[in-house]
Chain A
Amino acid sequence: MHDTKYHRIVILAVCLTMAAGALLFAQQSPPAEGDETQLLAVLQSDAPLFEKAKACQRLAVVGTRKSVPVLAKFLDDPKMAHYARTGLEAIPGPSVDDALRDAMGRLQGRLLGGVVGSIGMRRDVKAVDGLTDLLGSSDASVAAAAAWALGRIATPDAINALRKSLDGSASLQVAAADACLSVADRFTAQGKLSEAGALYDALRKAELPKHIEIAALLGSLRTQEATRLRLLSGCLAAKDEDRFRVALSAAHELPGEEVTAALVAQFSKLDKVSAPRQAQIISVLGDRGDAAALPVVLEAAKSGSEDVRLSAIRVLAKLGDASVVPVLLEAALHGEGEAAAAAREGLADLSVEGLDTALVAALAENTGSSLLAVVELVGRRGIGSAAGTLSKLADSDDEPLRTAAIRALGVTVGLDELSALIDRLVDPKTPDVAVTAKEALTKACLRMPDRDACAAKLLDRMTGTAAVQGDLLDLLGVVGGAKALQGVATAARGGSDEIQDAATRVLGQWTSPDVAPVLLDLAEKAGPLKYRVRCLRGYIRIIRQFGLPAEERLAMCRKALAAAGRDQEKRLVLDAVTRIASPAALALVEAHLADAELREAAIAAAILIAEKIVDTEPAAVAAAMAKAVKSTDADVAAQAKTLLRRANRKLGEN
């Protein structure tokens, strides 16, 4: 009992230490150091613009009422005004609003527009009168800013002012309309549909650019339930393309059978001249997924014009039940072009009982291009029971059919039938069969649930030409797992030059870190330099790419450095070490600072590590940076000096 309690305390202590370490690391230096008083002192001094700017940005987070008068003084300064607003806009409390309103009364042009923007962001209701006055400004930019701010504040007075501006000068109309749209949208979100509807009505009555009227129309469709259907039907029937499109937008949002019915009714009224619109309506019906639309879509898929039929076929599978299968099969097997492709796409994903059985039966009932289509469909649906038939078709003299059958086997065979594909790779009747068989095997090997059993089947056939063995090695790489790795490693150690080439390439791209010891062993053993280098680079890739524990990665880095005979690989290792944020990692790269050939790479790596640990490990960083400042690259030396100063400051604080 005592031991258990002690154990818990130790674990808790370790966790707390780790958490504390993490928190120290998980923080960013602010734009400027110091508390509010120090930041204000900077602003009131003759410090350079940069320091004042950064002080303002910091005050946006830490500033209080005390900062307001100091910041407000800069609102008249073209270079500093935006920075001052950055601070002011974020500070809570009425003193900021007072200061901004005060500035609104004395500024002009861009400076005034900026202040108005900040007032809008803060939604200062006391500014409504002043902003309303600015709607009449001769500066169009200022008037537009005022309209925007009033839209954000959205008191009744603000809204009235905006509504009046809809009938005002042309330059203000658009900005006021945008603000009204914002207010109406907010009302809609709050469930104030009648208020929103009134604003949308006002916008639609005003003379505004068409896209704004269309936006208001969409708002009406969203909010005016009583008249919605009539409005929707009117838009669907409108000659104007934008009104028709806004109906499509609304139909994507609005629920209800009556909306589906309106779409169906409009579809039925359209003649063939309106085929593009019919196609679009069918598409929306598919997106709505309302089965009530199925009869009209089904009919359109049979007898519509080309565009309409294509759209209907695309939609059928979304709405589908068993009734769509004959239509889709007819189009898929006997149709042409996009319609046939769309039908196959639909059938590939359609979940209907009996479809797989029908397709397997269709393998025996069709010939020529229809049979080809069935084979492709069987493959896309991954119908395992078709593997036997596909295997026979894979020997067809008809090349397209043969290719399609082999491809389909790739996504249908199980482990027991894998040999049918391996045979075609190892002993192909024609060269194209080998290429297709390898593609198919790649897909098949990915799917095999028992990796080792799959690898065993491939390894059993590791005879024949080097090219065939190379293909089998590639496939073992796809399979992965212990047995495949063992097989590829054996090939890399003992095969011919071609086999070693293929095997080391596969090992270099292995997708799990268990390959690391194999790669290191091959890199260290005697053999052609090109393969040892390849294996070492593969080993370094494991360090870089895989989420191994930091200690393990560091140990791997040490082993890689020891195995590396050339500076190129040593530089790669030094770069990999930078992914480990620890004093030990820093020490590892520091050890190479004395090597003239590696010195600059080691300094670059040291700086990258130092940046990550300078606040938590200042002593180690200071020691390393004292050497790094001697870099011949002026920029790098400057970075090192900065880090050295930061580390020393930290040490001083401690």
Chain B
Amino acid sequence: MSDKTFPLNRRQLLKSAAQAGAAMMAPCVIPGSVLGKDGAVAPSNRIVLAAIGIGGRGSHDLGCFLSNADVQFVAICDIRRERREAVKKMADGKYGNTDCAMYRIMHEVLARQDIDAMLIATGDRWHTMASITAARAGKDVYCEKPCSMTIAESRALADTYRKYGRIYQAGTQRRSIGNFQFATDLIAKGKLGKLHTVHANTRPPGTGHHWLPAEPEPAPDEVDWDMWLGPCPWRPYNSQYVRGRWRGYFDFHGGGILEWGAHTVDLCQWAAGKDHTAPVEYVPEGDGLTTTYDDGLKLVMRTGGWMGKGTCSVRYEGDEGWIETGDSGQFAIYPESLRTERTVFTRRGTDPTTHIRNFLDCVKTRKPANANADVAARSHVVSHAAYIAWQLGRTLRFDPAKEEFLGDEDANRMRSRAMRAPWRI
């Protein structure tokens, strides 16, 4: 048994880490202990953070990270120059210095040994690849949802985080928000009786396959189109994709079930105590599906028929009562006697504050986060399987242990998509 002390010096470590990410430039190493103005948190207790791909949602996340005194944000990596500069301005403004480093190439920022954790908020197509690359470089990761584009990506994500022992938090913040926790707790306490159906609010599933007209490619320093595409199929550049109009394209987007199911299907899995498994049958119905677990529990994915409790609603039905809640924090609950259980939740479902705090605590204690890679991967597999059934327009049977469809080769072929070189999971 090797119980040796670590043989590599700092130079060697940096060299190796750079090789790990195929970094082409020497990393800029800035010890976290000398950074920032905030003296309230001891350097040993501070989490040094960097980010990849920060747009609208990412800026909101980053703002929440920056509000934690034990976070020191040191670097931004983005394939768009204007985004890099905007985030640097935000961070430098917070710290009153000009220290936030900017990177275009992901592997360069990941090679920095002073960075503990990454915030990843790229477009969906990059979430798995960036998260896996970060774990391979020894970073803990908070990654916006959805965590994956395919069943295969979901599995690779969970496997990678297990084998490297890194902390991962999917940006499915509703697991850390009071009204959703309360609803799950009601089930756990048996207040709804035996659970028979859970409902997840999803969006219309379809995506398209067309390309927007070609436009001249900008210089890579402005927008690195090849890196923007990452593992996805090549297509001609059009500025609209880069400005956010990538949703709805099959190559870049997992469809409407995943869009909200990353949250709501995940909540249903959690509430029903199904974090370790998936439904075994998927029946497409209109723009949603009814799925069934091996014990008969139904998970219904539907776009309509909700009671106005806000976006990303969920409904849990047992033989003694039901509860419906959503992003407003409000509830509908039955029977009336359960109203005595109610309280007021003011935090909206879109607010990541408590979820980010859970991530930071877990980085320190090494406890698996609320939405760790294993549970996130499982619930994403459910959304992907549902979308495959919907695309094919037929009922599918699924083996949750093998994560494969039974007796349907077409469906099984749709579990993964070839990645553009040099990317692989």
Contact of A215 among B17, B165, B367, B368 (CB under 8 A): B165
Bound-state Cα–Cα, A85 to B419, Å: 9
Chain B residues 284-339 with CB under 8 Å of chain A are 284-287, 289, 304-309, 330, 332, 336-337, 339
B349 sits at the interface (CB 8 A):
no
Bound-state Cα–Cα, A283 to B362, Å: 10
A120 sits at the interface (CB 8 A):
yes
Bound-state Cα–Cα, A204 to B6, Å: 10
- Contact call A287/B365, Cβ cutoff below 8 A: yes
* Residues A141 and B285 in contact in the complex (CB < 8 Å), given A26-B390, A61-B410: no
Bound-state Cα–Cα, A178 to B8, Å: 18
B67 sits at the interface (CB 8 A):
no
Per-position contact with B for A448-460: 1 when CB-CB < 8 Å, else 0? Answer: 1111000000000
* A218 CB contacts on chain B under 8 angstroms: 165
Bound-state Cα–Cα, A117 to B8, Å: 31
Per-position contact with A for B248-272: 1 when CB-CB < 8 Å, else 0? Answer: 0010000000000000000000000
Bound-state Cα–Cα, A53 to B235, Å: 9
Minimum CB–CB distance for B180 against chain A, Å: 17
- Contact call B164/A211, Cβ cutoff below 8 A: yes
Q: Of all chain A residues, which has the CB nearest B206?
A: A28
Contact of B344 among A184, A201, A446 (CB under 8 A): A446
Bound-state Cα–Cα, A284 to B364, Å: 10
A92 sits at the interface (CB 8 A):
yes
Q: Number of contact residues on A: which range applies? A: 35 or more
Chain B residues 376-425 with CB under 8 Å of chain A are 390-394, 409-410, 413-414, 416-424
A280 sits at the interface (CB 8 A):
yes
Bound-state Cα–Cα, A82 to B152, Å: 17
Q: A36-44, A167-175, A517-525: which lies at the B interface?
A: A167-175
B209 sits at the interface (CB 8 A):
yes
* Residues A114 and B420 in contact in the complex (CB < 8 Å), given A240-B6, A449-B336, A450-B336: yes
* B4 CB contacts on chain A under 8 angstroms: 204
* A121 CB contacts on chain B under 8 angstroms: 152, 416, 418, 424
Bound-state Cα–Cα, A111 to B337, Å: 65
* Residues A280 and B365 in contact in the complex (CB < 8 Å), given A111-B421, A511-B307, A546-B306: yes
- Contact call B339/A447, Cβ cutoff below 8 A: yes
Chain A residues 52-87 with CB under 8 Å of chain B are 53-54, 57, 60-62, 79, 81-83, 85-86
- Contact call A28/B207, Cβ cutoff below 8 A: yes
* B287 CB contacts on chain A under 8 angstroms: 25-26, 612
Bound-state Cα–Cα, A584 to B391, Å: 26
B342 sits at the interface (CB 8 A):
yes
Bound-state Cα–Cα, A269 to B164, Å: 29
Q: Of all chain B residues, which has the CB nearest A448?
A: B339
* A231 CB contacts on chain B under 8 angstroms: 1, 3
A110 sits at the interface (CB 8 A):
yes
Per-position contact with A for B1-34: 1 when CB-CB < 8 Å, else 0? Answer: 1111111100011011101101000000000000
Bound-state Cα–Cα, A379 to B176, Å: 23
Per-position contact with B for A108-128: 1 when CB-CB < 8 Å, else 0? Answer: 001101100110110000000
Q: A246-254, A388-396, A482-490, A561-569: which lies at the B interface?
A: A246-254
- Contact call A181/B2, Cβ cutoff below 8 A: no
Among A57, A111, A446, A451, the most chain B Cβ lie within 10 Å of the Cβ of A446
A465 sits at the interface (CB 8 A):
no
* A88 CB contacts on chain B under 8 angstroms: 418
- Contact call B250/A451, Cβ cutoff below 8 A: no
Contact of B19 among A173, A252, A449 (CB under 8 A): A173
- Contact call B414/A209, Cβ cutoff below 8 A: no
Bound-state Cα–Cα, A224 to B3, Å: 13
Bound-state Cα–Cα, A306 to B165, Å: 30
A496 sits at the interface (CB 8 A):
no
- Contact call B165/A546, Cβ cutoff below 8 A: no
Q: Of all chain B residues, which has the CB nearest A253?
A: B368
Q: Of all chain B residues, which has the CB nearest A307?
A: B45
* A447 CB contacts on chain B under 8 angstroms: 339-343
* A245 CB contacts on chain B under 8 angstroms: 366
Bound-state Cα–Cα, A24 to B287, Å: 10
Chain A residues 15-29 with CB under 8 Å of chain B are 19, 22-29
- Contact call A276/B44, Cβ cutoff below 8 A: yes
Per-position contact with A for B163-183: 1 when CB-CB < 8 Å, else 0? Answer: 111000000000000000000
* B368 CB contacts on chain A under 8 angstroms: 252
Q: Of all chain B residues, which has the CB nearest A18?
A: B285
- Contact call B22/A92, Cβ cutoff below 8 A: no
B159 sits at the interface (CB 8 A):
yes
* A287 CB contacts on chain B under 8 angstroms: 365, 367
* B279 CB contacts on chain A under 8 angstroms: none
A213 sits at the interface (CB 8 A):
yes
Q: Of all chain B residues, which has the CB nearest A480?
A: B332
- Contact call B424/A117, Cβ cutoff below 8 A: yes
Minimum CB–CB distance for A75 against chain B, Å: 11
Minimum CB–CB distance for A638 against chain B, Å: 11
- Contact call B138/A85, Cβ cutoff below 8 A: no
* B6 CB contacts on chain A under 8 angstroms: 210, 213, 240
Can you show 7 pairs from A to B with CB atoms below 8 A apart?
A92-B409, A110-B421, A111-B421, A204-B2, A212-B20, A246-B165, A246-B366
Interfacial residues, chain A to chain B (CB-CB below 8 A): 19, 22-32, 50, 53-54, 57, 60-62, 79, 81-83, 85-86, 88-92, 110-111, 113-114, 117-118, 120-121, 140-141, 144-145, 148, 170-171, 173-175, 178, 181-182, 184-185, 201, 204-205, 207-215, 218-220, 224, 227, 231, 234, 240-241, 245-246, 248-249, 252, 276, 280, 283-284, 287, 411, 442-443, 446-451, 511-512, 541, 545-547, 579, 581, 612
Interfacial residues, chain B to chain A (CB-CB below 8 A): 1-8, 12-13, 15-17, 19-20, 22, 42, 44-45, 136-138, 152, 159, 162-165, 205-207, 209, 211, 233-235, 250, 284-287, 289, 304-309, 330, 332, 336-337, 339-344, 364-368, 390-394, 409-410, 413-414, 416-424
Known: A79-B234, A276-B45, A547-B305. 16 other contacts (CB 8 A): A22-B285, A31-B209, A82-B420, A83-B233, A117-B419, A144-B22, A145-B421, A205-B2, A218-B165, A248-B365, A287-B367, A446-B339, A449-B340, A451-B339, A511-B307, A512-B308
